[in-house]
Amino acid sequence: MTIKVGDRLPSITLVKVTPEGPEQVNTADYFAGKRVALFAVPGAFTPTCSAQHLPGFIAQADAVKAKGVNEIACTSVNDVFVMKAWRQTNNAGEITMLADGNADLAKAVGLTLDGSKFGMGTRSQRYTMLVNDGVVEQLFVEAPGEFKVSSAEHLLSVL
């Protein structure tokens, strides 16, 4: 079942990229007491993710935060080392990278994508959700092959 507005995020362990190295974080703790713009991509270093999705949130980070968002986070079904390299390559220091290497979060929120025909296995669908104190406030899931409603620009238009 797909998560919806008003639902609480399930308690899942992700791995956060930090300057000190990988840090396991539980979603219940990580999202508690703050408003987070979380965007999910099918894969770091993939074309749309690298050319549009991440760069849009980098460019719009200040504007998104000015609308009452405490943090911007990105999740992908990649390991923490790939997420760290992607962050460094894109100078995305203002984006928190949360590795969902086993697709636990993607599965728990019902937003998986079968990338098997591309050799990618189970991945996350492309989406953006606004999470307020662990509860989904807004959710924008892309149709397959699209990049419209999960962009930073779209999020800004509804904040």
For Cα atoms 105, 21, 152, give the angle at the middle one, nearest 5 degrees.
50
Amino acid letter at 41? V
CB–CB of 82/98 below 8 Å?
Answer: no
Active site residue 49: yes
12 token code pair? 């899942």
Distances (CA, A) of 154 to 1, 39, 77, 85, 134: 25, 12, 23, 27, 21
Tokens of 7: 């639902």
The active-site residue, picked from 38, 49, 69, 73, is 49
**Amino acid in the structure at residue 115:** G
Catalytically active residues are 49
